[in-house]
Chain A
Amino acid sequence: MARLAGRRALFAVPVLGIVTFGVFAIAAASPFDPVKAYAGTAGLSASQDTLDQLRANLGADEPLVTRWWNWLTSAVRGDLGDSSALRQPVADVIAERVGWSVLLASAAFLVAVLLGGALGVLAARRPGGWTDRAVTSLAYTLEAAPPFWLGLLVMWFFALKLGVLPAGGLTDTGSTVVTADQVVRHLVLPASVLALSQLPWFVLYVRQGVGDALQEDPVRGARARGLAERTVLLGHALRSGMLPVLTLIGSRVPELITGALLVETVFSWPGIAAATVEAATAVDFPLLAALTVLATIAVLVGNLLADLLYGLVDPRVGFDG
């Protein structure tokens, strides 16, 4: 197990190297100019000398490999450069915002697991029955619906039409302190929409997992012993059907990030996904590069977690592969 973790960590080093290099290579191939981006509107009136000085200071004339290596070595020491759009160190931006994104993502996953588990079990009970068909149709429709569109409709209905929940942000307008009560109220809508966007996967996997488990010997044995249907379903089938799904949550990080990019933007949630979109709109390369790498790290950690947990839960899976 430790060997698997070690090997994965070893694999992560070249992956991050290639991803960061790719990020720099794409930027180098694009019309993006770091000096203009750094100087902003002041660059329009600045003299050529100043711009040249800035260019030298930023190291923008260095070859691609040198710039990449400089960025990498300072990143390892914790210096990720300065965000040109937000005018503060990238590391501070991430530190300020990452907590809110983690909160949103955990709340969404919790809702998706509970709701998805319940719907999946309902569907698996009688494959082809009307509940099954209703639940699977719902799952496919949700999968096809763009999360930003769902978010806007949900916001319109609950915030504008009914007026029961706030439309976006983290706190009420005019409020200067962040209280838990306000955060929870502002969290409900974005977390629900993010959960809805993750729901189809959970529903379909739990449905298949529990459906398969219902065909297996332990369930047949439990039925033969005359156990109640409830016990069979929740005690036997759900346990073996749901566990693999729970362990695979880690492999859902890419989809979660995709959903968060859209949901945080719709609801103006002050997380890192919304910051990524802002950075992209403002062509803020230092921030965008750091957040892309951060997302890659999250994906790699998620995959490692999924593999480790899967092996822990199912001893038949070896760690040698």
Chain B
Amino acid sequence: MAETTKATGTTGAKGAIGVTEAAETATAWRTRAVVRRSTRVWRVRGSAAVVAVIVLAVLLVPPLVQLDQQAVDLAAKLQPPSLAHPFGTDDVGRDLLLRCVYGLRVSLLVGVVAAVVSTVVGTAVGAVAGAFGGWVDRLVMRLVDVFASVPHLLLGIFIVAMFRPGVWPVVVSVALTHWLSTARIVRAEILSLRSRPYVDAAISGGASRYRVAVRHLLPGVLPQAGLAAVLMVPHAVWHESALSFLGLGLPTHQASLGTLVQSARGSLLAGDWWPTLFPGLCAVAATLAIAGLAGAWRERLNPRSRSELML
């Protein structure tokens, strides 16, 4: 019940997923436990494999494969998936597998940058609130509550609409809307670290406020902040693709997971499903794999938390 109460406060963003960690029943059969353990191991291995494939493809294909992703071939337009074109071709004959790799590259780049920025902002805000305490803490956390009252995507849409679509407005709008949960996590962690004896020892040893914060508190929250950053990547990718799909994100000629789905709408209405299906599948695979790895990491960090709800 406590888990449910806590959840009221989280204004969950979409896309992040934890690894299943079902509540152990006292009567769970030993064999079943073994089976579940092995499926969990396989899930982590599968996630790692998918992430490895995606990272390698995104990093190596553009420099190594001398193919032009923008190469138009009207003779080969809208071909269904085949051996030559595993994902088929789009309405001007571009190979969709290649376009998806480039799209993932752009989406992941935007996602990673936005996740890093939002984690830095969130860690700084959370650390200030937790380390200073008192009215600073109350003021900052109230501000976080205010931010949380505006739906993420709506605030993102507003920022991008005012600053005109483009890569940087998208990164800024995703980063500005996603630091809240990190700030809350880091603040809670700092509060728990502050009551540890080694911090008391540092303070009575004459360490300055700044030194305590930087040398004794910050290193303690880095693992949690890193985990939050990894879990943030799929959120950020989701966000970028939603904005781009609405025509408020990246320009349409720039392949990203969102713009690929957006520009496939015309073909879809004509009955051709593959230009829509595959970019979305890439997004789902990347999200599940990253979240699967992050979930395994989270289990190591917080072995006692049994809630898998990361929504």
Contact = CB atoms under 8 A, between A and B. Distances in A.
Interface stretch (A95-103, A177-185, A187-195, A277-285): A277-285
B308 A204 contact: yes
Nearest to B28: A128
A300 interface: yes
B15 A144 contact: yes
Contact of B280 (A149, A258, A306): A149
A164 B276 CA distance: 21
Contacts of B152: 254, 258
Q: Give the interface residue-count category, chain A.
A: 35 or more
Contact of A140 (B155, B159, B273, B288): B288
Contacts of B149: 15, 19, 296, 299-300, 303
Contacts of B234: 144
Contacts of B276: 149, 152-153, 156
B243 to A, nearest CB: 10
Contacts of B277: 153
- Identify the interface centre among A155, A262, A277, A306: most chain B CB within 10 Å of its CB: A277
A149 B246 contact: no
B120 to A, nearest CB: 21
A248 B4 contact: yes
B151 interface: yes
Given A18-B146, A19-B146, A248-B4, A288 B158 contact: yes
A244 B2 CA distance: 11
A244 B148 CA distance: 22
B7 A251 contact: yes
Report whether over half of chain B's contact residues are helix, strand or loop; otherwise say mixed.
helix
A300 B145 CA distance: 10
Interface string A154-178: 0110001100000100000000000
A265 interface: yes
Contact of B14 (A153, A255, A291): A255
A295 B271 CA distance: 36
A295 B17 contact: no
Closest 8 pairs between A and B when the two form their complex, measured CB to CB: A149-B280, A280-B161, A30-B162, A144-B287, A127-B22, A254-B151, A258-B153, A257-B151
26 contacts: A14-B146, A18-B143, A18-B146, A31-B163, A32-B162, A32-B163, A127-B22, A128-B28, A129-B32, A136-B22, A144-B17, A144-B288, A145-B284, A146-B280, A148-B246, A149-B261, A208-B3, A208-B309, A215-B23, A245-B4, A248-B8, A258-B151, A280-B158, A283-B161, A283-B162, A292-B150
Given A205-B4, A255-B12, A262-B242, 5 more contacts: A128-B22, A140-B17, A254-B148, A255-B14, A296-B149
